[in-house]
A = this chain, B = another copy of it.
Amino acid sequence: MTVLERLAALRALMKENGLAAYVVPGNDPHASEYMASHWFEMQWISGFHGETGTMVITHDQALLWTDSRYYLQAGIELKDSTIELMRESDIDCPKLIDWLSENANGVVGVNPEMFSVNDFADWKEKVELKSIDLIKPLWTEGRPVIPQDKLYPYSADYAGESVESKLARIREIVNRKSSNGQWALIVSALDEIAWLLNIRGNDVEYNPVVISYVVLEADQCTLFTDLNKVDTVAQNYLDFNNIAVQPYEEVFAYIGGLKGAVFYDGARVNEALFEAIPADCKKINAKSPILIDKAKKNAVELEGERIAMRQDAVALTRFFKWLEEEAFADGKTQTEWSLMEKLHEFREMGENFVEESFGTIAGYLGNGAIVHYTATKDNCAEVKPEGMLLLDSGGQYLDGTTDLTRTVWLGGRIPQQAKLDYTYVLKGHIALATARFPRGTRGNQLDALAKQYMWAAGITYGHGTGHGVGHFLGCHEGPQNVRTDNNPTVLEVGHVVSDEPGIYRTGKWGIRTENLIAVIPAKQTKAATTEDEWLAFETLTLCFYDTALIEMSLMTEDEIDWLNAYHVRVYKEVSPLLTDAEKSYLAYKCAAIEL
């Protein structure tokens, strides 16, 4: 079937069902950032293969909304498809829902599995919606199945807490909010399920999760997943923990039989699940207690993060040593892609390494200034031993999840602006890492600490300063972050966030410096005037900075002291895992700097 044939078939179904428009968002039923290809419905109907986009089909129009990363790709892939590209960043590009409410002129069909309850409710205020899946009857050939990889128990030695303990705690939280003890909590986010049940899987790239739903009740816990995923070991583990297993698609019928209060997080639970709740149940839309709890890492999880960081540091040290000493030796040539592959090789040697935690970003020269740049084997720049390289990568280890960015100068004379840019970024990065703040402080209050020096120079960046990071789970997790947005979440002990300010100079270079930092308690000082409890950050990531790029005249003594102490720590923690030659290299990179 061609895209034109697919659109025609869809329109015929729309007509049969009295729909004026049909919307296909690039979502899955679990509000996932990374999706299994089974749910590439938007890609299937449009022929566009970018990661983000939403298709709108009316009887005489077809439009695809996507963001600036994909304009080029979409332009090529949508050619001859009759699909109009809607460039979201254009000032005169209408918001999708506004376009719909002006142009739909009738009922708009959507697959309710692909919409969160909250989004569905917002849209419903502006257009007449009908819950209906029109892709399933059409996409019968060549549709990838839902991954059937095995799930596996994730030891409490890594998780730091037994399933029993987690279930008891979450039940207690929900119980307190429920009046008569008869309740159910619907869990659909894959990282929440993996955390709650101490299970992991291989269903989604970069994310060791299991495609499934959970319905938690006071006296039972039911996991809905493809039964092929559950081998004897897994079955024994689930049995032992009193977790019942039912087929994935049975979740709707099961929810249809619930009584009492039904709790769901409307931002993450999909509309189809919500519609399955019986009318006489009390429906309570509340932030997921699992999401909140999962974000506060326990001592074992944090210790695991530290172990993973050392493995990661070894890989990065080896990579940078190779890059300096061997990559260009004997006339060898390199590309962004070859660097990515080499880094993967080194990471793969690490103990307990499972996979990357996201697609490595290796941005050479101007490519570093493209914030979501992805080099591919066939489309990447040649890298020479000169100029700036931005390298953002991370690993999934059984012990934890890593994510770090280093920007290094590969050779040649360093332009003064490059040193200034690097130093503004570094000063902001240090300001956030060294912040002390009273309990109750939100990430958005700290955001400007990382930006103040570049702001003074008239420079800023559009991405967040810090995202939450999971523990051997998603590289991005909520609810905490460090961004400009008015996120009401306060930073709490055990939260892990990234610290990654950046400066992007189009066509020249991108500079980003990223560590993961964990929120820890800080002691009250003697000078304290209030009873406030204090928090600070522990830097988890262990990788040297390129000190050649630092403009020393901008650095304060405190900043230099911090940097030198960090490098001492990096050497101390990482060198025992290195060969003598690697140790020498690391010692050289970690040498103290002076004003």
Contact = CB atoms under 8 A, between A and B. Distances in A.
Given A445-B447, A445-B484, 11 more contacts: A431-B452, A435-B452, A442-B486, A444-B445, A445-B445, A445-B448, A448-B449, A449-B452, A458-B523, A460-B532, A503-B529
A526 B504 CA distance: 14
A530 B436 contact: no
A528 interface: yes
A215 to B, nearest CB: 30
Contacts of A434: 456
A434 B456 CA distance: 8
A104 to B, nearest CB: 20
A359 interface: no
A455 B484 contact: no
A492 to B, nearest CB: 16
A528 B448 contact: no
A552 to B, nearest CB: 15
A462 interface: yes
A50 B530 CA distance: 26
Nearest to A524: B458
Nearest to A528: B458
7 contacts: A436-B455, A436-B458, A437-B455, A448-B448, A459-B527, A462-B530, A505-B529
B486 A506 contact: no
A535 to B, nearest CB: 10
Contacts of A525: 457-459
Interface string A408-428: 000000000100110000000
A527 B458 contact: yes
Interface in A441-483: 441-442, 444-449, 452, 455-462
Contact of A455 (B420, B435, B526): B435
A556 interface: yes
Contacts of A524: 458
A44 interface: no
Contacts of A39: none
A417 B347 CA distance: 51
A549 to B, nearest CB: 16
Contacts of A431: 452
B417 A527 contact: yes
Contacts of A523: 458
A488 interface: yes
A438 interface: yes
Interface string A520-544: 0011111111101010000000000
A560 to B, nearest CB: 14
Contacts of A530: 459-462
A459 B504 contact: no
Nearest to A556: B556
Interface in A351-398: none
A462 to B, nearest CB: 7
Contacts of A522: 458
A114 B73 CA distance: 60
A446 B484 CA distance: 10
Contacts of A446: 448
Given A420-B527, A529-B506, A532-B460, A437 B448 contact: yes
A287 to B, nearest CB: 16
